[in-house]
Amino acid sequence: MRYLYIALTEIKSKLTYRFDLGVEFFSKLIELTMTLAVWNAVFSSGITIRDYDKKSMIAYLVISSVLSFLYTFEPCFRLGKLIHSGRLSVQLIRPINLWKSGLAEQTGRKAIYFIILFIPFVIFAKLHNYFVLSIILFIVNFVMFYSLMAFISTVAFWLENTWPLRPVFSAVYSLLGGILFPLDILPEPVYRILVYNPFALVGHVTAKTLTGSNENIALYILISVFYTLIFYFLYKIFFKAGLKKYEGVGL
C-alpha cells in the first residue's frame, strides 16, 4: 500500500508540471520526425530493405519511438541524487525498500504514458492474436529495464557525478535498442547477437511484437525475466558494497 502512495505522488507531481510534460512530448516528436524524414528519403526511390517497405518501416519507427517514452533513465540517477544530497540516510531509516520505492516512483512517473498508450497498444496487440503474451512481455520488460537502471545507479557510490551517463544511455539505447533503425536490417550474425541485449528487448523486440512480426514472444519473456533476476541480484550486491563506502552527515 505504501508503494501505491509513492506512485500516486509521482502521478500528481507529473500532472502539476504539465508544461514539462508537453515539452517532453514535443521533443519526442522532433526526434521521431528526424528519423522518419531520413528513412523517407531513403525509401523515396521505391526500394525495400530486407522485409521492410516504406509503410512497415514507418510503423516500426513510430512504435519504437513511442515505446521510448516508457523506458527512460531517471531511476539511474535517483540513487546518485540521494547520495549527493545526503538524503540517502533518511531513506535508509524509513521502513521502505529502496528498490521497490524506486519502481513505484517510475511506475507513477510513467502512468500517464501507460494510459495514453494503452488503447493503441491493445489495438496493435489484438490485431495479431498475441494479446496476453504481449502484455506480459511489456510488463516484464518494464521491470527488467528498471532493474538494469537501478543496478547501474549503484555506481553513484563510487562516482562524484553521474549526470554524464545520461547521454551515454541515450546513445546506447538509440543504437542497440533499434530506435534509429530496426536491428534486423543489420547483417544476420550481428543481428543474432544484438537482439538479446536488454535495450533491444524493450525497443526492437517489443516494436516487432506489436507490428505482429515476432513469433518467439515466450522466449523473449523468459530472457527478460532472466535479466531481471540477474540485475536485481547485482543491484543487491553492489548496493551493499556501496553502503560500506557511503558517509552521510546529519539527518
Binding site for other proteins (CB under 8 A): 17, 19-20, 23-24, 26-27, 30-31, 33-34, 37-38, 40-42, 45, 47, 49, 158-161, 164-165, 167-168, 171-172, 174-175, 180-181, 185-186
Residue 188: CB minimum distance to other proteins, A: 14
Quick one: 134 or 198, whose CB is closer to other proteins?
A: 198
Quick one: 20 or 51, whose CB is closer to other proteins?
A: 20
Report DSSP letters for the chain, one per residue. Answer: -HHHHHHHHHHHHHHH-HHHHHHHHHHHHHHHHHHHHHHHHHHTT---BTTB-HHHHHHHHHHHHHHTTTS-SHHHHHHHHHHHHTTHHHHHHSSS-HHHHHHHHHHHHHHHHHHHHHHHHHHHHHHTT-HHHHHHHHHHHHHHHHHHHHHHHGGGGT-S--TTHHHHHHHHHHHHTTSSS-GGGS-HHHHHHHTTSHHHIIIIIHHHHHTT----HHHHHHHHHHHHHHHHHHHHHHHHHHHHH------
Quick one: 95 or 164, whose CB is closer to other proteins?
A: 164
Residue 241: CB minimum distance to other proteins, A: 17
Residue 54: CB minimum distance to other proteins, A: 12
Quick one: 122 or 171, whose CB is closer to other proteins?
A: 171
Quick one: 127 or 172, whose CB is closer to other proteins?
A: 172
Residue 236: CB minimum distance to other proteins, A: 24
Residue 146: CB minimum distance to other proteins, A: 21
